[in-house]
Structure 1
């Protein structure tokens, strides 16, 4: 089946995936440095670039790899297996690069000029505004939690725009990162390496072709866009972003599991157990964790398959199916969070050391469950509404 979730065959996918797998140990080792500097090391960015990660969502006509959603998901998950913060930055850059394909052709030619690109995004408008001026708009605003802004070339930001007919709408503007200021305000207890600082625009000019309304982005109906229809890449904005984000939780959980198991073999303090592997509770919790991770992976694999099948024939998901994607994402995230907590319950005090990889994975996964769009409780509520015959109750599906 073209683009099937676990059977990717498109050219270049295997080489990128293998290159990323090779750098997983290095990404993991760089985790402490990422936390110390509150931003992933330059080496991580360079390794991802060399592996081809920043080309995977770029259309082929611009020299990109244009990989399918299941393939992008697999690559992003491997990055997070090495470092959750690096994975979260990568998913921000890659998913927002895909979002840039929803803009007019003239914009895409500008954004994808080099065949690869790093675009961060801030999707909450707040009090930010786009005021019409000759040839475009003047952008003013501030955006918090702008993941990856410190290493991005472009920023995609939300703002309220005054339309030609005098009405107001919400829109996404693409702006060179060099035209924005970045605050040194990312002081947090987890996902520290994402550098998700606040960005600010002061009277930044945005040409008209670098703006689409949120409605146009959600439906892929921006004027002057030739890559629409049955291209195999029109997944729907939120379903695509949610799906790629799930990859980070799953990959990070695998990293946590691997590092926990690799650290076994030592005595259990204040007991007669000389090897923790021999303790029945440890065995039980390791099995619980492995099965929950496997269950999450299998559960969401079906959603990836559905999204790709629909994109291949140019058929959008129904609102009920979109709500189900969000619900499945929420439950998968809940499962991997519980998996890592099961391991944490039998970890030792030595795992509290900042240099320890397992503890970093646990902190980052727990923190990422607080993300507004990815929070399991909120996602399951949306899914539950449609299961009992109500509307989703939110446009964020």
Structure 2
């Protein structure tokens, strides 16, 4: 009996110490249910104040630069200008100050580029995006910028199929930012990136047998999306196909007892960081994120070739990826490059060129700086001059 009493008292003492420790964590480390700026579970459909503010405006701003698209999720609206005046689009929703005819004029070599914000050129003016600089650097060349911020490679492929191929490009550049592997298995953006300002919903591809199957977005209008978010049914709509929701599902249950404890909230945050770790995602070549990503890239590349155009995958590192390369002199995304080489998919990785310039002046903060865009344009220009276009503006098949 004494032994039972001893162990009972001991366990009670440990429990009290743990609860005091947990309380101190809440008082000292957690502010407004965030830890070091990261939101903590349990999560709702809207996680940050920015998301809540954008939710209130959803569907009311008909002049917005980024607009809802029932096929792509979102896109750049035609003839739009952002509130700060930095971003402008033409009548086809390309980021450009000029218009392009659908039919290519004689003697013109047309390039179309697709991708996310690193292709669109977020944080710089229209003329300082790398597609615009590339057009300025070459004679008799047009570069059509179909990049859209926050896109996955899946959305880039779908935009090419719906919009891009109508302009009959001779070369299609597939801008692949290294973090895209996470987006390609996501449907509702706040689930995988809780701190994001956007609350977009997107289509995605799943692997079915030997092919890709498109899963369309489960809403037809911004009003319907707003309704699903407001009543909480958004999770039911995306549950079967959102890879990250399947991993994080318990963190979106508001009454889950685990998240009453501050220490478990922080432990969950560490788990999420591990699950989203890019090194891990690229190393696990037999897991869904890698398999879906390489299949999308291969499908994109082959679709372009079947349409009679040439394709190039352009590897674009963000700041963290570039710093990792400069520190360790290795590319954790090498398994992707190995796959592309094995499948004879042409690619161009601008990491080395950006790293060299980064030693002199900043090429990337949140996105590429003016200098960073110039470096990317120069690398692509040199590839074109070596492989396709001559200095005189003529080209070879």
TM-score by length of 1: 0.25
TM-score by length of 2: 0.25
Q: Which has the larger radius of gyration?
A: 2
The structure in which a higher percent of residues are helix is 1
